[in-house]
Amino acid sequence: MSFIDFHQVSKRFGDNVVLDDLSFGVANGERVTLIGPSGSGKTTILRMLMTLTKPDSGTIAIDDEYLWHERRGDELVPAGEAHTRKVRSRVTMVFQQFNLFPNMKVLRNITEAPVHVLGTPKDEAEARARDLLEMVGLQSKADFYPSQLSGGQQQRVAIARALAVEPDILLLDEVTSALDPEIAAEVLDVLRDVAKTSDVTMLLVTHAMRFARDVSNRVLMFNEGKIIEDAPPEQMFNEPQHERTRGFLRSVLEEV
Amino acid sequence: MNFDWNYALDILPLLLDGLLTALIATVVGYVAALVLGLVFALARRSSKRWICLPVGFFVEFIRGTPLLIQLFFLFFVLPQLGLALSPLAAGIVGLGLHYATYTSEVYRAGIEGVPPGQWDAAVALHLPRRRVWTSVILPQAVPRSIPALTNYSIALFKDVPQLVAITVAEPFTVGRAIIAETFRPFEPITMAGLLYLAVALVLSYLGRIVERRYKGMATA
Ligand SMILES: Nc1ncnc2c1ncn2[C@@H]1O[C@H](COP(=O)(O)OP(=O)(O)OP(=O)(O)O)[C@@H](O)[C@H]1O
Ligand SMILES: [Mg+2]
C-alpha cells in the first residue's frame, strides 16, 4: 500500500457522480499536483483526505491506517471518531479562502493548535510561531487581526498556521486563486520555500502551471472523476498523451 | 378626575418595592434565558439523537404555548407534583425558560452565520470539538447575536406584569393590594404603568447603544 492510498473510492452528490471507483497512491515525500477542469473532483479528493467529505465507498489510508475504517481481526469496520482523528492528525490543509480565525490575532491563529492539540507550552509555541511568521515574511504582523491584513498576507499566515501543526501531509487547494497575480507570486514563493526546506508530502490543486512544474514531481490529470493521465511535470506539460489533457492545458495557458 | 399627589406620594414606596421585584425577575430571568438558550442551541446541534430530539421537542413546546399557562403550571401544578416554588421563583423560572426558547433561536442563527470555512479550518488544525466551540465558533457567533438578544431583555421585562397571575409582588400586584384597601384605582394603576414605561424606555435606549456597538461586528 502506498503512503497515501485511495482504493476504489466513489463519491456522488445526488445524481452527480464526482469520483468513480478511483484508485491511486502517493509516496511519502512526493509532491503531487492535481489538475483538471472545474468540477472534475480535485477539491473533493483533498477534502476527503482532510476528512471534510466522506466517501460513499472505497477506502482511503495514510501510512497503512484507514481514515474511515478500523481493522478488527481480518475485517474492516467503520472507524470510531477517535481513530479518524488520530489518522487525520498527520494531515493539514490550506484553503482558497484562507479561513483564518477572525476573532484571534495572527499569533494566536498559529499557536492555537500547537497549544491545544499538541500540548506545546505557550511560550515555546509562540517562539515557533514567530519563526514561522518570519519564514513567510510577516514577523511584524503577529499582533494584527486577520481583517487588518491583505489577502496575500492572510494566506501566508494560513500557511504558517498549517505548518505549525507539524503535518506529514500538506494539502493546498487553489491557495492563490483568490489573489491578484503579483500577490499570488509572493505566496507561491513561500510555498517553493516550504517545498525546498521540508520533506512534507504535498498534494496541491493549482492553476499556476509554472509553479506546479517547479515544485511537483508528479502531475495527475483528472477528468470526470477519473485520472486520465499520470506523469512527471515535464512530460505532462510538454508532451501530454491524452487529447483531453492537451485541450485542458491549452485553455489554462490561454487564461494566463 | 384629579391626580391626588399626596395619595401618590404615600403609595410610591410600595410601588417602588414592586418595581424592584420586577427588576429582579427581569435580570435573573434574563440571565437564565441567556445561559439556558445557549445550552438549548448547543443541545439541538448535538449529533446524539437522544439529546437533540427531546430538547428540540421541549423547546418547540415551550415556544408554542403561552407564558401564562407555563406560569400557572409552575406555580399551581408543580407543587402537587412535590415541587413548591415561591411566586418569585416560579416567575423567574417561567420567564427564563420561556425566553430561553427565543434566545436559543438567536444563538442558532448566530452559529449558522459562522462561515463553513471556519469549521473546515478547525478540522484541518485538529482542534478538539470543545475547543472548536469555545475558541472559534462561539466567539464569532455570540457577538453577532447580541443585538437580537438585547431586544429580548426588553420583551421579557414587558412580560413581567403577567406574574400578577401567580401573585408575584410586582407593581400591578402591589397596586391591586392598595386598591383593595383604598378603592382608589386611578393613581396606583397609572403609576405602575408609568414605572414600567420608564424602565422600558431606559432599556430600549441601552439596547440601541448596544446595537450600534455590535452592528459593525456582525458584518466584520
Ligand atoms: N457539498 C456538495 N454538494 C453537492 N455537490 C457538490 C458538493 N461539493 C462538490 N460538489 C460537486 O462535485 C463536483 C466536484 O467538485 P470539486 O469541488 O471536487 O471539483 P474541482 O475539481 O475542485 O473543481 P474546481 O476547479 O471548480 O474547484 C462538482 O460538480 C460540484 O458541484
Ligand atoms: Mg476545487
One-letter amino acid at A30 equals E
Question: Among all residues of chain B, which has the CA nearest to that of A114?
Answer: B125
Tell me the per-residue pLDDT of B111-158, one tens digit each, with 9 for 90 and over.
Answer: 999 999 999 999 999 999 999 999 999 999 999 999 999 999 999 999
Give the pLDDT score at B89. Answer: 96
Euclidean distance between CA atoms B164 and B153, whole angstroms? 19
Residue B177: all three cell numbers together: 393590594
Cβ-defined contact of A103 to B139 (cutoff 8 Å): yes
Predicted ipTM beyond 0.90:
yes
CB A40 less than 6 A from any atom of ligand 1: yes
Whether A95 and B124 lie within 8 Å, measured CB to CB: yes
CA distances from A191 to A135, B61, B103, B166 (A): 10, 55, 45, 69
Question: Using CB atoms, which residue from B123, B136, B220 is nearest to A101?
Answer: B136
Identify the closest residue of chain A to B116 by CA–CA distance: A99
Q: Is residue B118 part of a domain?
A: yes
In chain B, helix, strand, coil percent, each to 5?
85, 0, 15
SS3 A220: strand
Residue A17 — φ and ψ, nearest 5°?
-80, 110
Closest approach of chain A CAs to the CA of B47, in angstroms? Answer: 12
A42 lines ligand 1 (CB under 6 A): yes
**Considering only CA atoms, which residue is closest to atom 10 of ligand 1?**
A13
- 10-residue mean pLDDT profile of chain A (256 residues): values are 95 93 96 94 96 96 95 90 95 97 97 97 97 96 97 97 97 94 92 94 94 94 93 93 92 72
Instruction: Report if residue B219 sits inside a domain.
Output: no
Torsion of CA B103, B106, B111, B114, to 10 degrees: -150
Number of domains in chain B: 1
The pLDDT value given to residue B187: 95
The answer to whether position B167 is within a domain reads yes
> Which ligand 1 atom sits closest to the C-alpha of A53?
1
Query: What are the pLDDT digits (tens) for B30-67?
Result: 999 999 999 999 999 998 999 999 999 999 999 999 99
Q: pLDDT band for B217, please (50, 70, 90 cuts).
A: low
Q: How far is the CA of A52 from the centre of ligand 1 (A)?
A: 13
pTM: 0.91
Contacts of B118 in chain A (CB under 8 A): 99, 101
Collect residues with CB below 5 Å from ion ligand 2. Answer: A 43
- The predicted pLDDT at position A58 comes to 95
Q: Is B127 on the interface with A (CB under 8 A)?
A: yes
Q: Tell me, what's the pLDDT at B220? A: 43
How buried is B186 (Cβ within 10 angstroms: 0-12 exposed, 13-18 middle, 19+ buried)? middle
Ligand 1 pocket test, candidate residues A12, A15, A40, most atoms within 8 A of CB: A40
Tell me what pLDDT residue B69 has.
96
Q: A97 — contact with chain B (CB < 8 Å)? A: yes
Q: Is B13 within 8 Å of chain A by CB?
A: no
Query: Which residues in chain B touch residue A116, judged by CB atoms under 8 angstroms apart?
Result: 127-128, 131, 135
The boundaries of the domain holding residue B181 are 5-214
Name B142's Cβ contacts closer than 8 Å, sequence gap at least 6. Answer: B107, B110
Is any Cβ of chain A less than 8 angstroms from the Cβ of B201? no
Query: Cα separation of B195 and B193, whole Å?
Result: 5
Q: Positive or negative CA dihedral for B53, B59, B65, B70?
A: positive
Cα-Cα-Cα-Cα torsion A83, A84, A90, A95, nearest 10 degrees, comes to -160
Cβ–Cβ gap B125/A165 under 8 Å: yes
Cβ–Cβ pairs < 8 A, chains A and B: 60
The verdict on a CB contact (< 8 Å) between A112 and B128 is no
Residue B25 pLDDT exceeds 70: yes
Q: Is the CB of A18 under 6 A from ligand 1?
A: yes
On whether residue B220 sits in a domain, the answer given is no
Q: Which residues of B touch A103 (CB under 8 A)?
A: 136, 139-140
Q: What is the CATH number of the domain that holds B206?
A: 1.10.3720.10
Cα A178 to ligand 1 centroid, rounded to whole Å: 17
Give the mutation target among A9, A11, A13, A97 for probing the ligand 1 site: most ligand atoms within 8 A of CB: A13
Q: Is the CB of residue A219 less than 8 Å from the CB of residue A208?
A: no
A12's enclosing H/E stretch is strand A4-13
**pLDDT band, very low/low/confident/very high, at B216 (cuts 50, 70, 90):** low
**Any idea where the domains of chain A sit in the sequence?**
98-166
Q: Which residues of A touch B120 (CB under 8 A)?
A: 50, 52, 93, 95, 99
Best of B48, B119, B126 to disrupt the A interface (most A CBs within 10 Å) is B126
